[in-house]
Amino acid sequence: MKPATVTPGGKALRLSFEFFPPKTPEGESQLWETAGALSAYDPGFMSVTYGAGGTTKVPTLATVGHLLKMGLPAASHLTCVGATKEETHAVVADFQGVGVKHFVALRGDPPGGVGAPYQPHPGGYANAAELVAGLRGLGFEISVSAYPEKHPQSPDVAADVDMLKRKVDAGATRALTQFFFENDDFERYLERVRKAGIFIPIVPGILPVHNLSQVQKFAGMCGATVPGWLADRLGPVDDRPQERAAVAVELAIRQVEDLIARGIDEFHFYTMNRSMLVSAVCDGVGFAKAERSRAAGAAA
């Protein structure tokens, strides 16, 4: 990833952004506008999520293809749950056909949803580590996931770290974490990862809070924690959008600045397909902007 800006101490900082496939024409327009606006921060890549079992293959493929046509560095998520290796390879070929060179390789949620028992598909990749190995043999850049507070289906943090080590040994070169709000949790996780001999970048996932109840729901599904102090700050202004946005931006800026002070130099923003809060955070932290962002809908 290329540097987006440099701290006063001379450290290069890097950014990436995550989107999900839009479901409506209005959502498409919003996404292209968001991607165009955030391109001003010269991100290393913009990733697009992919539903387990290929449930969003077509919209994800279309979204990634459009971002690439806009001249943006798009990457696609890819899951292996519910598919044979041949089916997964066919999906990879489709994405390769539109110019994808970078995947975020994930196992994916079980067909029964979060919390349901996971069973590898017969003839498929059993887990994300096997998927990484398969992709690496095809020459792609590969990012993977990491969980500072433990994946909800892992028995303990040690098992989580072991799985990350397996993904790295298979060829992953970057790990993007689930969102978190307590930087001490991230730092403790990073210390365990380094002690395990994992030295790829562990990129913190930052989520500026657009909607408190929505984030609490997401957190319950992915094993993340919404601290009481965050709910105490956002709850009283939840019905006042401008005040809520100001508080959310303030908290995210504080989180990123504290991580920079701890030596972190890469950040992955969960955008929710909106640019306002993310842009405000990036501006508040001092990430450099290019003179001109990509026009919304360019190369449509």
State yes or no: is 18 an active-site residue. Answer: yes
Q: Encoding tokens for residue 39?
A: 């391109």
What are the CA-CA distances from residue 115 to residues 109, 177, 222, 246 (Å)? 8, 19, 9, 34
Paired with 6 in beta bridges are 12
Report whether 127 contacts 159 (CB < 8 A).
Answer: no
Cβ atoms 114, 152 nearer than 8 A = yes
DSSP code, position 294: P
Task: Kindly state the tokens that stand for 7.
Answer: 């701290």
Q: How far is CA 80 from the centre of its chain?
A: 17
Return the closest-CA partner of residue 66 out of 105, 19, 104: 19
Active-site residue identified among 18, 28, 130, 149: 18
DSSP code of residue 121: P
Place of tokens 């401008």: 242
**How far is the C-alpha of 72 from the C-alpha of 174, rounded, in Å?**
19
CA dihedral 127, 133, 137, 139 (to 10 degrees): 90
Q: Annotated active-site positions, please?
A: 18
